[in-house]
Chains A and B, each alone.
Chain A
Amino acid sequence: GESVGLHLPTLSVQEGDNSIINCAYSNSASDYFIWYKQESGKGPQFIIDIRSNMDKRQGQRVTVLLNKTVKHLSLQIAATQPGDSAVYFCAESWGNTPLVFGKGTRLSVIA
């Protein structure tokens, strides 16, 4: 029979606009959060991380926001470019446990 694939949420953004990708994490004890970018045929690549003692962290063109009250994480990409098109994953960790990944969001940049 036909298998049902994982339906990834998709965000379509016009080139040059800002993108916001959201993630709800599961464990209130998580103290480390990370965003990865995965392009087709490649492994996940680190974008930015944040620890639970912070609520915001900025990188080059990217900002991660953490709201521990509602267990929500977001990734903001400024001036989105075609090269930003990929699947984005959030991941969480607590103590020394390995990263647990969310299901991912596909970002599609319209040129």
Chain B
Amino acid sequence: DAGVIQSPRHEVTEMGQEVTLRCKPISGHNSLFWYRQTMMRGLELLIYFNNNVPIDDSGMPEDRFSAKMPNASFSTLKIQPSEPRDSAVYFCASSTGGSTEAFFGQGTRLTVV
């Protein structure tokens, strides 16, 4: 298996633009997580899905952030409009659910200028 695949690896965008981050989880995993990593706050959970259904989005910073999982093999995290303070590394992870190991993708480094 290729592991969790995220795209793009790097994204530089101007403030106000829409940004879409993509994730393909490991086949057979039914839980998917979006984390954000910054120097200030470390690794924070933004949202997670079980069986394609959003379970907890309390970590999403504000309404500018939205996430979808239209099927078991694809998820998106969208920021509209983007702001400089959104600059971070965004990780997608997947697992078989419950208290188990989560497998992380390589991350998307987002820079908003």
Contact surface of A with B, Cβ cutoff 8 Å: 3-6, 31-32, 34, 36, 41-46, 49, 51, 89, 93-104
Contacts and interface: CB of A to CB of B under 8 A. Distances in A.
Given A34-B101, A43-B105, A6 B39 contact: yes
B97 interface: yes
Interface of B: 4, 31, 33, 35, 38-43, 45, 48, 56, 91, 93, 97-107
B103 A46 contact: yes
A96 B98 contact: yes
B39 A5 contact: yes
B99 A51 contact: yes
B45 A3 contact: no
B104 A43 contact: yes
Given A6-B42, A98-B45, A98-B48, A45 B98 contact: no
Contacts, number: 59
Contacts of B40: 3-6
Contacts of B106: 41-43
Contact of A43 (B56, B97, B100, B107): B107
Residue among B4, B31, B100, B105 facing the most chain A CB atoms (10 A cut-off): B100
A78 to B, nearest CB: 22
15 contacts: A4-B40, A6-B40, A32-B100, A34-B101, A42-B106, A42-B107, A43-B4, A46-B101, A46-B103, A89-B43, A98-B31, A98-B102, A99-B45, A101-B43, A104-B42
Nearest to A47: B101
Contacts of A6: 38-42
A48 to B, nearest CB: 10
